Amino acid sequence: MKIVEINKLKKSFRRGFLGRRFLALKGLSFSVERGEVYGLLGPNGAGKTTTIKILTGLLSADSGGIKILGEPIGAPRIREKIGFLPENPQFHDFLTGEEFLNFHSNLLGMPRYGRKEKIKELFNAVGLKGAGDLKLRAYSKGMIQRIGVAQALLGEPEILILDEPMSGLDPIGRKELRDIILSLKERGKTIFFSTHILPDVEVICDRIGVILNGELKGEGKLEELLGARIKSYEISFRGGNTGLIEKLNNVSTRILRGADQITIYLEKEELVDKTVQDIIQAGGKLAALIPHRETLEEYFVRTYGKEWVR
């Protein structure tokens, strides 16, 4: 089932007070399936945040349609199904973490019965156990992102929308947030987020859409985009006669000699079987044969090149 459907979305802005209008979104179309993690990827200025603001009702589109759970956006019943974390959120830093979530519980109209247990459960879920008594001004960037996710989950939404959730986080903070997203997926949540940080996407996304200059340039499952392309083969072996290395020098792109093991790298698949046979015939013992698949970052450089750099 499609949770989100975006069809031919267009949005324009004016540059300056008397400037000409420019199209930030140029007929954008994509959908998000129930239970998946969908990443909208693009450089800064590509149109990611504009898309999310329209999706959450913070901006109006010039034309095009958006449906959430099969209905047009805007209805209060539909908004109740959305949890949202904006980029660089600014919260009331004089509140403690517990006061902050209690405040948002009131805004949602949540009953007081069971609220304390719900808030405690959310602190544990986002890795903030024991931080409920701290004021938000004492929270780190990573902790602010996590309390923001907790706030977005208060109403048990069917879809969680995160705008650049990894932005500004250190490697540990990014890993912690990745783990939270994966745990939410295990609970059956649908997660739609935007980012320009490619390594994180490879770990958590089921599908991605690539947006450049307001247009969707590509879309698909990660295994479809990356799975079929192998950039090199790594072969490790022990032993072999004196003439083997000379033969391998003619076919390999790199040879590494260890204390008791030699590793070579081949770029062409058609060389693999013959090379393995040569190693065995020369008295070598095969230790490993590892295909190295293309990373998402390498895929983007190969496919989009300078378009990604803004």
User: Could you give all domains of the chain from N- to C-terminal order, each with its CATH number?
Assistant: 2-226 (3.40.50.300), 230-293 (3.30.70.260)
Model confidence over 148-165: pLDDT tens digits?
999 999 988 889 999 988
The position carrying tokens 């986080």 is 169
In one-letter notation, the amino acid at residue 135 is K
79 vs 147, higher pLDDT: 147
pLDDT value at residue 90: 87
pLDDT value at residue 184: 87
Q: What is the band of 98 on the pLDDT scale with cuts at 50, 70, 90?
A: very high
CB 28 within 8 Å of CB 51: yes
Kindly tell me if the per-residue pLDDT of 38 is higher than 80.
Answer: yes
Q: Are β-strands 207-212 and 2-14 bridged in parallel, bridged antiparallel, or unpaired?
A: unpaired
Q: Global pTM?
A: 0.78
DSSP structure class, residue 139: -
Strand partners, 31: 5
Q: What is the band of 228 on the pLDDT scale with cuts at 50, 70, 90?
A: low
Q: Report the distance separating Cα 24 and Cα 212, nearest Å.
A: 10
